[in-house]
Structure 1
Amino acid sequence: MCKNTIQFQKGLGIMQFLANYGSEEQCENALSSWRWPDGFQCPKCGSRSFCKLHRKAEFQCNCCRCQTSLTSNTIFDSTKLPLATWFLGIYLVTQNKAGISCLTLHRQLGISYNAALRMKHKLMQVMMERDNSWQLSVLFRLMTPIGAESATEAAGAEAQRTKPPSWPQFRQMLITTLSSSRPKTQPIENCRFYPEKLSGALLLSGD
């Protein structure tokens, strides 16, 4: 049986995730490599000469003495939660296709409900901003209209929408349109279904 390559694509298992980001040191190293792939660079003067302070993940530029932290100007800025907790929260939020509630996040991470709520809101915000930065290169049409419960119902709605009206219905629509001060386009669109009947004599005679 042919499998959907998107649905069955290889993911990151929980054991592999914990092996890569299970400790605070691993998370700090990963974040540092993502933020400064070529090594630390001062955000103020651009110098690469720095010293590490005694405080956790604090750096000081040797040129301008600007101090910055690993989490500054990120979603982890000013957080009191360990990076390992944040990374696990990111994994739980992004791996569940149906989404995850704040209550479940609070229970699985062992943090307060308010902290789980703030974490989820921050993650959803950055995910939305990331998605909005991409634009579709092609237009596509939804096969299932909004509100349709199944593809069968959607197909029935599409067939009902494109089904031509009967000649008496179309004639009445045409008369109403011609007598209206604001004519509609629907009768004109349906004219292709009755080319042989569109004459003034037939219209007035009632055939």
Structure 2
Amino acid sequence: MTVEQPPFKRKRPYMPTVPLLLNGELVEDLERMNAQYPGDLYVTPIVYDSTFALAAFTEREAMLEESRKMSNSAEFRWHVELRGGACADEGTPVPQFLRPWDLPNLRGEFLTISPEGKIRDLSTRVRREFLNWDNAIQSIGICAYPYSAYSDPNFSGIEHFINFRCWINPDWGITISSIRNWGLAPPA
């Protein structure tokens, strides 16, 4: 006899502060969406209806396809800059390491994550006296490579996949408990 396992649940409900599309449909009720989809979701920033938004998917492949559309979008870059970030033109040298900061606008303490580097559980990384990095990231520097920031440890929960060469203040309601610099081996 097998015992049925309950569905995986994220540590926290997903409550972004910008419009969210789930599998192409605008989410009107975040509480209902969290109840219907309590497991992993795959998210990437987009432009929707002339504003910065997030596209969430239940399948990773769909999210990766959507992120490719935004990587060279001038309108998307403009929206990143409106939100206080900045983007580098294609061909402009940018760091290969990923550098998240604990204060907005690339200030405060930072971590350095080399290409193909990852941190499975940010609560194990010390920052400032008696504090750790779990849910402390407030800005992320420009990186030559795509990266993923996850809401839960062990690269689970909500995966935010960033596939553009911009520095950002991820102020759209995300929490980050694990992070990975994909380097030359981004997800397929």
Q: TM-score range by the shorter chain?
A: under 0.3
Give the strand-richer structure, 1 or 2.
2
Greater RCO (CA < 8 Å, at least 6 residues apart): 2
TM-score, normalized by length of structure 1?
0.20
Compute the TM-score of the two structures, normalised by the length of structure 2. 0.22
Greater share of residues in helix: 1
